[in-house]
Amino acid sequence: MAVAADSVVAWVGAVARAHAGSPALVGDQVVWTYRDLWDRAGEVARLLLRRGHRMGDPVGLIGANEPAYVATYLGIMRAGGIAVPVNAMLDAGTAQRQLASVAPKRVFAGQLGDPVRETLAEHFELLPMDPGADPEPTGAGRLPEVRPEAVCTIMLTSGSTGLPKGVMHTQATMLHAVLQLTSAFPFCADDRSVVFLPLHACIPEQVLPVLCTGGSLEILPGFDVDRVADACTRATTFDAVPTILSRLLEHAPLGKLAHLRWVLFASEPMPVPLLERWWDELPGVETHQLYGMTEVLPLSAAPHRLLREEPGTVGYAFPTTRLVVDAEGGGELLGASPARMAGYHRDEVATKAALAPDGAMRTGDLGRIDERGLVHLTGRSKDIIISGGFNIAPVEIEAVAARHPAVERAIVVGIPSPRWGETPVVVAVARPGHALSAAELLAHCRAGVAKYQRPSGAGLVTAFPTTGIGKAAKDAVKRMIMDGTIDLVRI
């Protein structure tokens, strides 16, 4: 009897049966069909069950990008488990503490450095990412039925000074998110999507939508300009963040990128000048923007045609999503959706604090919704700089900086000021081959904003520190300013 595809793992299974002989995953000298992927996921599930796994058990997952990572993630779901992906770039102690916060008995370990592997082995039962590496056969028993309401993943939000929150999503919330994405963006069975963002972060918005529409994924170990450009000659799309798009425009052969049909970007504001440069350099490659967060995976979508008309927007809320501006909360966006998280793992207090009285998620993003329903982001509530009693949104100064022809990317942060409490300063990366001084950058920005927004300092760096998925890390930039690593020109 056919099983209803009312969970995200059942949906992938239905596609795997329908496209059994089609390529699903491509890695270094490896091509797995959908049949191969689904069979390997089944092997992972049976390995877990043979080791005493029970429905609802959390299972850790840590390792570099490789096809086996995706099979393992799906296998945990097929066993009725909760996949807990952890950033493989963490040091041994941090990785151990993050996993311990969810308390899995078992952790699948892929390609890791010896210190991390040895530390984790002291606290958890380590299993091989490739079930074929296990000496005992997994068998072919019946796998449990997975219900839509079952929690299927805990995504650990970024946190360097303390333990991150564990965002719980169910099979149903993940499936709804996938269906929202595939309805708004041009995912199709002919797609070949290049994966270079870390798999611990990009499975919900890239891997699952591709697999749920019958496309294929070429999985790279990480971001490398040359490898990504070469892969684009065989691909139709990829998922990225604006910082990475900027690096590709500056350093990749544009003729190779031009083979793409479309790209999807998210996770940080897209400077309009960068978007316009992409259109000028690669007019045949469509750009699509997603706005969302870990707790509510998709909130709004700006497809290519809309971006060409309104490049400063993050689009319209999805039909099943309600986005409103909380006027009493300083203009914070609140989002309600069937794709909203089930809550934070074992933290009812944090869950309650993150939700409005009606259950909508407090996004932490400031914005406005115009009369047409278009959503415009104006900053992050935690990034707002209060200088002399005025609220300053860094994004507004960053937009001015980005319009300087010699600026590749710019970041604005607030630093302590004895006179104003806080004062904005701007730090930029210059475009290769373009001359730019900190004094010139400061003058440009001060001339383009209101008097109360004028930055009091500027600095230059060769590259921004980034998060695991390639976003510019503002907190790290601020620390570099405070400890003198970045020299500022001041007024």
32 is written with which tokens? 């797995």
- 156, 39: one domain: yes
Q: Is 189 among the domain residues? A: no
Q: What's the number of domains the chain is made of? A: 3
The verdict on 316 and 285 lying in the same domain is yes
Query: Regarding predicted confidence, which is higher, 430 or 158?
Result: 430
Whether 433 maps to a domain, the answer reads yes
Q: How confident is the model at residue 390 (pLDDT cuts 50, 70, 90)?
A: confident
pLDDT digits (tens, 9 = 90+) for 398-426: 999 999 999 999 999 999 998 888 999 99
pLDDT above 90 covers a percentage of the chain that reads 83
The pLDDT score that the predictor gives to residue 2 is 52
**pLDDT at 133 > cutoff 80:** no
The DSSP annotation for 148-159 comes to TTSEEEEEEPP-
Phi–psi pair at 36, nearest 5 degrees = -60, -45
Tokens standing for 381? 């509530």
Predicted confidence (pLDDT) per residue in 206-244, tens digit? 999 999 999 999 999 999 999 999 999 999 999 998 889
477 and 413 in contact (C-beta within 8 Å)?
yes
* CATH code at position 452: 3.30.300.30
| Alpha carbon distance 2, 16 (integer Å) | 14
> 225-232 and 242-251 are packed helices; what angle lies between their axes, rounded to 10 degrees?
90
- Three-class SS state of 163: coil
Q: What residue numbers bound the domain in which 130 lies?
A: 8-175
CB burial readout 442-478, b (16+ within 10 A) else e: bebbbebbeeebbbbbbbbbeebeebebbbbbbebbb
Kindly state whether residues 364 and 480 are assigned to the same domain: no
Specify the residue for token string 């031009």.
258
Which of 378, 398, 419 marks a domain boundary? 378
Sheet strands (E) in 162-284 = 166-170, 192-195, 216-219, 237-240, 262-265
188 domain-assigned = no
CB 67 within 8 A of CB 219: yes
Apex 34 CA angle, 223 and 204, nearest 5: 50
- d(CA 462, CA 224) in angstroms, rounded, equals 17
- 430 shares a domain with 373: no
Cβ burial 96-123 (10 Å sphere, 16+ → b, else e): bebbebbebebbbbbebeeebbebbeee
Q: Are residues 474 and 388 in the same domain?
A: yes
> pLDDT-based confidence at 160, cuts 50/70/90?
very low
Q: How far apart are CA 8 and CA 213, in angstroms?
A: 12
**Phi, psi of 106, rounded to the nearest 5 degrees:** -125, 145
